């Protein structure tokens, strides 16, 4: 199903999970970093006052000591001094400060106790060593400023705070140390853990909410999509059209309204179940013939469908061809009404090729509906293209709608121009030239017909019409040889080939038809074109390469397709008398043709002077106003 809302749910959910996962990971990383910062800040906040007190205590201890004597010896030799210091230290002990003690570093670098405020059971002895593993203890002697040491591997301690006591304000003599119990940090961590859990829960709720929101959005879109799909035909329904028309860019689309002909009769005759089956099949045919990404198919109601076909810059004719393909596909489809029976169903289509000229979708739709009305009025089973001002193109090119109308109304005709065999002076062939009689009776030439329908199915229809006229003319005139012009796309079109194959089965028809093909890039590069030309030649048709000498003049290709005639381009022949280059070009073509055993026709032989030059060059066939102007009948 072509859809503006179509998506692969599983793929979207995987992408969604990845996005949610990534957001969660980022949030978690941010939370961990935040936790670290909060912890550091809280430790700093809760210990900064204590640190000041310890520093003051160190100053007080230093004031007890004589600066002129060794601090260590003073304490070691004076138990009263040691007791006084321990009294200072004991003031520092709290529920969180587990130990407060005074150390010195001996000559071996071992730290030893001088005073300890711990209770007797834990109290260190004088000069008892303390094994320290952290190198920062020694760094204190270098930096001479207080420092903090975190204990990540000790079971009972979290932080130590060391304050150096300087002697003579130069050398570190003593170290006042306090150890914070683990409870301090545990309390902080409890708060942080609570904050972290709260944050993570909040994040989880946000993520969950976000996830639910997206899932609900996806479910809403799916539900909305279901509301837009017609259950019977699996194409969009009218609800979608109402939604779509608000934002559709009419510049991008051509619009067609399709109605199944005599659908009520089908329902009445075969029952609604058959009617439903036909509706489903018609919808399926429409979907098969439209582009999934570019076109939008809507069941407008009952047996009416709306098709919006995207107009592409590089293929402006695509929408019209799609509409025609849908039309012919339905026309040629056998619709089952029972296991053994089928019926043919036709449709009428109204096309608006320029919805952008309307003020809105509703107006554009009305014009397509008007065209549909005309199609029904003309007897159904047809495509009607809406034209704004049908009579405003009198002196310019015809529109597709006008040409289509001309085909349907039988106003496509052929004029015939003689091709003369120069040596005998007798008419050897006629070239059938396309003409349209407009609604005022004026004759319209191909230059005003072909540009509008180039690349569309209308061109093919007009070729078929010309072939039918030629066939009828040949039947009426058994001795007549007729040339008909084919476009490159006609050569590769199955319906044209089928028609030519059908004519070839009749006696003495293909042998009297010359197919004039303009040598072009399309013809040369399409392998099927070359194959089809050889097939037509084998069926008895005579091949003419038209307008040779301009554009693609591929001599090798001529031999490959085994053409019977080449028609030298009229623009060269026109100037053959005065222009030496043109004369030289014609001479080389003629020489090549003689070598390759190909007949040459000179076009645009408009006077005796040109004719004499043509004859002097050995060109056997000539065509132009010198002999006759195109006439409505070859007789």
Partner 1 sequence: MNRLLLLLMLASLSLAENYTFLVNKYDKEMELEAEILSKIATASSKEPITLYIPDISPTEAKVYGRFFTLTPECRHATFVFINKATATAEASCDPSEKLFFTNNYRRLLADEKFFGAFFWAKSRPNIVFLQHRLLQHDITLPKTYSRYIEELNVQ
The residues annotated as belonging to the active site are: 303
Instruction: Tell me if residue 229 falls in helix, strand or coil.
Output: strand
Distance of CA 155 to the CA centre of its chain: 64
* Candidate ranges 152-160, 206-214, 403-411, 541-549; the one touching partner 1 (CB under 8 A): 152-160
* Candidate ranges 110-118, 328-336, 360-368, 418-426; the one touching partner 1 (CB under 8 A): 110-118
Measured distance CA(59)–CA(111) in Å, rounded: 21
- Which 158-217 residues touch partner 1, going by CB under 8 A? 179
* Candidate ranges 151-159, 207-215, 461-469, 553-561; the one touching partner 1 (CB under 8 A): 151-159
Binding mask 33-72 for partner 1 (x = CB under 8 A): ---------------------------------------x
Inter-axis angle of helices 272-289 and 263-270, nearest 10: 140
Give the residue among 396, 501, 503 at the shortest CA–CA distance from 444: 396
Instruction: Tell me if residue 66 falls in helix, strand or coil.
Output: coil
Give yes or no for residue 76 binding partner 1 (CB under 8 A): yes
To partner 1, the closest distance from the beta carbon of 41 in angstroms equals 26
Among 50, 97, 98, 256, binds partner 1 (CB under 8 A): 98
To partner 1, the closest distance from the beta carbon of 104 in angstroms equals 10
CB-based contact 346:261 (threshold 8 Å): yes
Among 66, 69, 83, 106, binds partner 1 (CB under 8 A): 106
* Candidate ranges 96-104, 197-205, 422-430, 472-480; the one touching partner 1 (CB under 8 A): 96-104
Cβ closer to partner 1: 104 or 416?
104
Instruction: Tell me if residue 128 falls in helix, strand or coil.
Output: coil
Give yes or no for residue 152 binding partner 1 (CB under 8 A): no
Binding mask 553-572 for partner 1 (x = CB under 8 A): --------------------
* Candidate ranges 6-14, 106-114, 221-229, 611-619; the one touching partner 1 (CB under 8 A): 106-114
Cβ closer to partner 1: 129 or 530?
129
Q: Which strand (E) or helix (H) includes residue 258?
A: strand 253-260
Measured distance CA(567)–CA(622) in Å, rounded: 9
Give yes or no for residue 157 binding partner 1 (CB under 8 A): yes
To partner 1, the closest distance from the beta carbon of 166 in angstroms equals 20
Measured distance CA(563)–CA(546) in Å, rounded: 11
Give yes or no for residue 414 binding partner 1 (CB under 8 A): no
Give the residue among 528, 534, 430 at the shortest CA–CA distance from 488: 528
CB-based contact 283:297 (threshold 8 Å): yes
- Per-residue DSSP letters for 442-482? -EE-GGGTHHHHTTSHHHHHHHHHHHHHHHHHHHH-TT--E
Cβ atoms within 10 Å, residue 31: 16
Phi, psi (degrees; rounded to nearest 5) at 416? -125, 135
* Candidate ranges 99-107, 359-367, 395-403, 537-545; the one touching partner 1 (CB under 8 A): 99-107
Which DSSP letter does residue 618 get? T
* Candidate ranges 93-101, 273-281, 302-310, 427-435; the one touching partner 1 (CB under 8 A): 93-101
Cβ closer to partner 1: 128 or 439?
128
Cβ closer to partner 1: 179 or 603?
179
Number of helices (H) and strands (E) in the chain: give both, helices first: 21, 22
Beta bridge partners of 322: none
Measured distance CA(425)–CA(434) in Å, rounded: 26
Measured distance CA(324)–CA(531) in Å, rounded: 26
To partner 1, the closest distance from the beta carbon of 72 in angstroms equals 8
* Strand locations in 510-570 (E): 513-518, 542-548, 565-568
CB-based contact 75:82 (threshold 8 Å): yes
To partner 1, the closest distance from the beta carbon of 43 in angstroms equals 18
Class of residue 395 by CB neighbours under 10 A (exposed 0-12, middle 13-18, buried 19+): exposed
To partner 1, the closest distance from the beta carbon of 199 in angstroms equals 18
Q: Which strand (E) or helix (H) includes residue 61?
A: helix 9-64
To partner 1, the closest distance from the beta carbon of 168 in angstroms equals 20
Cβ atoms within 10 Å, residue 591: 12
Give the residue among 321, 305, 415 at the shortest CA–CA distance from 368: 305
Q: Is the dihedral of CA 184, 186, 190, 191 positive or negative?
A: positive
To partner 1, the closest distance from the beta carbon of 182 in angstroms equals 9
To partner 1, the closest distance from the beta carbon of 114 in angstroms equals 12
Cβ atoms within 10 Å, residue 564: 16
CB-based contact 630:416 (threshold 8 Å): yes
Among 108, 168, 359, 505, binds partner 1 (CB under 8 A): 108
Cβ atoms within 10 Å, residue 33: 10
Which residues have a Cβ under 8 Å from the Cβ of 436 and sit 6 or more positions away?
Answer: 398, 403, 406, 411, 412, 413, 443, 444, 449
- Which 206-265 residues touch partner 1, going by CB under 8 A? none
Cβ closer to partner 1: 153 or 247?
153
Cβ closer to partner 1: 70 or 628?
70
Cβ closer to partner 1: 20 or 132?
132
Task: Count residues binding partner 1 (CB under 8 A).
Answer: 26
Binding mask 111-150 for partner 1 (x = CB under 8 A): -x-----x---x-xx-xxxxxxx-----------------
To partner 1, the closest distance from the beta carbon of 134 in angstroms equals 10
Among 13, 22, 154, 191, binds partner 1 (CB under 8 A): 154
To partner 1, the closest distance from the beta carbon of 112 in angstroms equals 7
Cβ closer to partner 1: 128 or 633?
128
Cβ closer to partner 1: 74 or 550?
74
Give yes or no for residue 101 binding partner 1 (CB under 8 A): yes
To partner 1, the closest distance from the beta carbon of 126 in angstroms equals 11
Among 99, 240, 541, 565, binds partner 1 (CB under 8 A): 99
Cβ atoms within 10 Å, residue 362: 9
* Candidate ranges 2-10, 103-111, 490-498, 534-542; the one touching partner 1 (CB under 8 A): 103-111
Among 3, 90, 110, 316, binds partner 1 (CB under 8 A): 110
Measured distance CA(60)–CA(115) in Å, rounded: 14
Cβ closer to partner 1: 130 or 534?
130
| Longest CA span, the chain | 153
Cβ closer to partner 1: 101 or 416?
101
CB-based contact 350:373 (threshold 8 Å): yes
Cβ closer to partner 1: 11 or 125?
125
Q: Which residues contribute to the site for partner 1 (CB under 8 A)? A: 72, 76, 98-99, 101, 106-108, 110, 112, 118, 122, 124-125, 127-133, 154-157, 179
């Amino acid at each position: 199903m072509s859809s503006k809302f179509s998506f692969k749910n599983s793929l979207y959910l995987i992408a969604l999970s990845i996005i949610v996962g990534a957001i969660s990971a980022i949030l978690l990383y941010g939370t961990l970093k935040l936790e670290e910062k909060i912890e550091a800040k809280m430790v700093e906040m809760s210990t900064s006052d204590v640190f000041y007190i310890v520093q003051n205590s160190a100053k007080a201890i230093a004031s007890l000591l004589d600066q002129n004597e060794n601090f260590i010896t003073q304490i070691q030799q004076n138990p009263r001094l040691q007791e006084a210091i321990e009294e200072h230290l004991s003031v520092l002990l709290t529920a969180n400060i587990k130990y407060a003690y005074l150390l010195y570093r001996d000559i071996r670098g071992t730290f030893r106790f001088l005073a300890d405020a711990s209770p007797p059971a834990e109290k260190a002895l004088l000069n008892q060593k303390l094994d320290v593993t952290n190198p920062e203890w020694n760094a204190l002697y270098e930096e001479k400023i207080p420092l903090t040491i975190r204990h990540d591997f000790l079971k009972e301690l979290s932080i130590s705070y060391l304050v150096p006591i300087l002697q003579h304000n130069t050398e570190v003599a003593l170290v006042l140390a306090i150890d914070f119990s683990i409870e301090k940090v545990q309390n902080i961590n409890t708060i942080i853990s609570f904050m972290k859990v709260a944050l993570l829960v909040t994040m989880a709720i946000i993520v969950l909410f976000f996830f639910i929101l997206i899932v609900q959005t996806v479910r809403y879109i799916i539900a909305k999509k279901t509301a837009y799909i017609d259950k019977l035909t699996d194409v969009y329904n009218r609800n979608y059209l109402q939604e779509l028309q608000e934002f559709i860019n009419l510049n991008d689309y051509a619009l067609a309204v399709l109605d199944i002909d005599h659908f009520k009769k089908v329902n009445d005759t075969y029952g609604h179940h058959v009617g439903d089956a036909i509706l489903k099949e018609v919808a399926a045919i429409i979907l098969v013939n439209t582009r999934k990404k570019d076109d939008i198919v809507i069941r407008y109601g009952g047996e009416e469908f709306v098709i919006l076909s995207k107009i592409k810059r590089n293929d402006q004719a695509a929408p019209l061809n799609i509409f025609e393909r849908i039309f012919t596909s339905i026309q040629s489809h056998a619709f089952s009404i029972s296991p053994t029976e089928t019926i043919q169903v036709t449709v009428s289509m109204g096309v608006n090729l320029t919805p952008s000229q309307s003020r809105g979708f509703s107006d554009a739709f009305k014009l397509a509906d008007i065209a549909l009305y005309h199609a029904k009025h003309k007897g159904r089973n047809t495509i009607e293209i809406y034209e704004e001002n049908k009579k405003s193109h009198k002196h310019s090119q015809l529109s597709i709608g006008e040409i289509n109308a001309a085909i349907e109304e039988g106003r496509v005709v052929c004029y015939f121009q003689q091709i003369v065999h120069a040596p005998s002076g007798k008419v050897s062939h006629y070239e059938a030239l396309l003409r349209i009689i407009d609604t005022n009776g004026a004759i319209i030439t191909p230059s005003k017909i072909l540009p509008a329908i180039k690349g569309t199915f209308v061109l093919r229809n007009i070729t078929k019409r010309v072939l039918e006229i030629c066939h009828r003319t040949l039947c009426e005139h058994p001795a007549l040889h007729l040339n008909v012009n084919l476009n490159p796309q006609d050569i590769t079109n199955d319906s044209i080939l089928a028609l030519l194959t059908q004519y070839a089965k009749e006696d003495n028809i293909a042998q009297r038809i010359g197919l004039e093909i303009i040598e072009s890039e399309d013809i040369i590069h399409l392998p099927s074109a070359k194959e089809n030309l050889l097939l037509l030649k084998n069926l008895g048709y005579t091949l003419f390469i038209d307008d040779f000498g301009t554009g693609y003049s591929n001599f090798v290709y001529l031999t490959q397709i085994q053409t019977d005639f080449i028609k030298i381009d009229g623009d060269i022949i026109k100037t053959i008398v005065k222009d030496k280059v043109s004369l030289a070009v014609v001479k080389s073509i003629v020489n090549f043709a003689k070598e390759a055993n190909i007949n040459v026709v000179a076009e645009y032989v408009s006077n005796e002077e040109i004719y004499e030059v043509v004859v002097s060059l050995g060109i056997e066939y000539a065509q132009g106003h010198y002999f006759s102007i195109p006439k409505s009948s070859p007789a």
